[in-house]
């Protein structure tokens, strides 16, 4: 027999699982707001594209106050080779969602091809491993045979590839970011077809302009194409004042509004915070917080 406390915990986990199911109808992969600071997080083609070695550390906490809510921790490093069109990068991403944990590590190789004055084509590919685990021991009823049967671990080959084009502030990109299913243990709507890298693609379009010497603005549009799930678009606008202060806002279809604020502590160190409001249309139970730290290493100079 279970105690009242155990029954309550089990009911709460059932509710969270249902919320996961509802949310994945709209998106098959966790949202990475830091794309607007670090486009390499979605598209391998953008590795080293700003011609500077840099490290990003990010932590995102969704549904604050809900036990077992998703937490995403990311680390990316980009190395732009001097006097060379090639770049290298590393990504480590850990996603924890209640009893489900996914840890992925990938290395990236990128190449830039000059097509004209201030115009470039970018290509990138990431390869690595992903470890998925469902830990039934995280549940109060872990000794129940039916619960214990849900324990599962897997290690599989993973990767992604992408393309990009840049010309005088205009950027266009298309990425197939995952070779394996972005959300383990969650099937698509039909539950029949195995996952293919072509099932999830991300298209992006942005334009950066400077109306004066102080301000820089970048409007952006992203489109997530997901087989078996609802496609999703998002609009973003970021602004930088005197290369020191970052401000921005993102509107994501069915997921509501996110705001961004950040500042540079020094020439090479910046701190950014993103806050996502609860969205009644997505039936999300609470707000989300995200913190991103950027550390630049060396000066720009490849171009």
Mean pLDDT, to the nearest integer, of 170-191? 78
Average pLDDT value over all residues in the chain: 83
Q: Is the pLDDT of residue 97 over 90?
A: no
Q: CA–CA distance from 80 to each of 48, 50, 86, 163 (Å)?
A: 5, 8, 7, 17
Let me know if residue 62 belongs to a domain: yes
Confidence label for 15 from pLDDT (cuts 50, 70 and 90): very low
d(C-alpha 23, C-alpha 27), whole Å: 6
What is the pLDDT, as a whole number, of residue 303? 53
- CATH number for the domain harbouring residue 164: 2.40.160.40
Secondary structure (3-state) at 87: strand
Contact 178, 41 (CB under 8 A): no
Residue 117 inside a domain? The answer is yes
Inside any domain, residue 81: yes
> What pLDDT does residue 19 have?
40
| 144 occurs within a structural domain | yes
Q: Could you give the number of structural domains in the chain?
A: 1
User: Whole domain around residue 237: which residue ranges?
Assistant: 4-297
pLDDT in tens, 221-247: 999 998 877 899 999 999 999 999 999
The pLDDT of residue 1:
43
Output the pLDDT for position 25: 42
**Does 10 have pLDDT greater than 50?**
no
Provide Rg for the chain, Cα atoms.
Answer: 20
Judge whether 302 lies within some domain.
no
Concatenate the DSSP letters of all residues of 222-239 into one string.
Answer: EEEEETTS--EEEEEEEE
Determine the pLDDT at residue 62: 83
Q: Are strands 119-134 and 245-252 parallel, antiparallel or unpaired?
A: unpaired
**Residue 57's pLDDT is what?**
97
Domain-embedded: residue 132: yes
Confidence of residue 16 (pLDDT cuts 50, 70, 90): very low
Return the higher-pLDDT residue of 133 and 25: 133
- Three-state DSSP at 19 gives helix
Phi, psi torsion values for 21, nearest 5 degrees: -60, -45
Over 50: is that where the pLDDT of 3 sits?
Answer: no
CA distances in angstroms from 53 to 6, 56, 98, listed in the order given:
49, 10, 35
| pLDDT surpasses 60 at 22 | no
Q: Are 260 and 245 in contact (CB under 8 A)?
A: no
Q: How many CB atoms lie within 10 A of CB 178?
A: 23
CA–CA gap between residue 188 and residue 41 (Å, rounded): 23
pLDDT band, residue 9 (cuts 50/70/90): very low
| Domain-embedded: residue 90 | yes
Calculate the CA 137 to chain-centre distance.
28
Task: Tell me what the mean pLDDT of segment 142-152 comes to.
Answer: 56
- CA dist 35 and 73 (Å) reads 14
* pTM score: 0.83
pLDDT at 274 over 70: yes
For a pLDDT cut of 90, what percent of the chain falls above it? Answer: 55
Residue 64 has pLDDT above 70, yes or no: yes
Question: 3-state class of 145 per DSSP?
Answer: helix
Least-confidence region, from 186-190, 264-268, 274-278:
186-190
Average pLDDT over residues 157-169: 95
Angle at 124 between CA 111 and CA 166, to 5 degrees: 65
β-strand pairing of 245-252 with 232-241: antiparallel
| Mean pLDDT of all residues in 282-301 | 79
Instruction: Tell whether the model's pLDDT for residue 158 goes beyond 90.
Output: yes
Residue 303 lies in a domain: no
SS3 sequence of 157-214: EEEEEEEEEEECCEEEEEEECCCCCCCCCCCCCCCCCCCCHHHEEEEEEEECECCCCC
Higher pLDDT, 137 or 217: 217
Looking at per-residue confidence, does 215 or 11 come out higher? 215
């Amino acid at each position: 027999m279970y105690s009242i406390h155990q029954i309550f915990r089990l009911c709460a986990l059932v509710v969270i699982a249902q919320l996961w199911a509802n949310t994945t109808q709209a998106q098959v992969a966790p949202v990475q707001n830091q794309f607007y600071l670090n486009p390499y997080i979605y598209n391998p083609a953008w590795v080293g594209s700003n011609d500077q070695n840099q490290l990003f550390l990010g932590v995102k906490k969704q549904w604050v106050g809900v036990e077992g809510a998703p937490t995403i921790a990311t680390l990316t490093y980009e190395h732009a080779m001097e006097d060379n069109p090639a770049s290298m990068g590393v990504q480590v991403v850990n996603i924890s969602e209640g009893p489900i944990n996914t840890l992925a590590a990938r290395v990236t190789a990128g190449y830039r091809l000059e097509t004209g004055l201030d115009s470039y084509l970018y290509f990138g590919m990431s390869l690595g491993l992903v470890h998925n685990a469902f830990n039934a021991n995280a549940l109060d009823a872990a000794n129940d045979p039916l619960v214990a049967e849900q324990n599962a671990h897997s290690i599989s080959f993973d990767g992604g590839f992408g393309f990009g084009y840049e010309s005088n502030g205009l950027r266009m990109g298309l990425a197939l970011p995952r070779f394996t299913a972005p959300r383990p243990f969650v099937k698509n709507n039909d539950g029949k077809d195995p996952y293919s890298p072509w099932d999830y693609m991300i298209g992006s379009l942005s334009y950066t302009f400077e109306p004066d010497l102080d301000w820089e603005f970048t409007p952006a549009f992203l489109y997530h194409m997901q087989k078996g799930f609802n496609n999703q678009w998002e609009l973003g606008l970021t602004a930088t004042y005197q290369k020191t202060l970052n401000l921005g806002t993102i509107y994501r279809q069915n997921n509501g509004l996110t705001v961004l604020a950040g500042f540079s502590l020094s020439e090479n160190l910046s701190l950014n915070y993103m806050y996502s409001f609860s969205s009644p249309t997505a039936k999300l139970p609470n707000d989300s917080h995200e913190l991103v730290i950027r550390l630049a290493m060396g000066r720009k100079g490849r171009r």
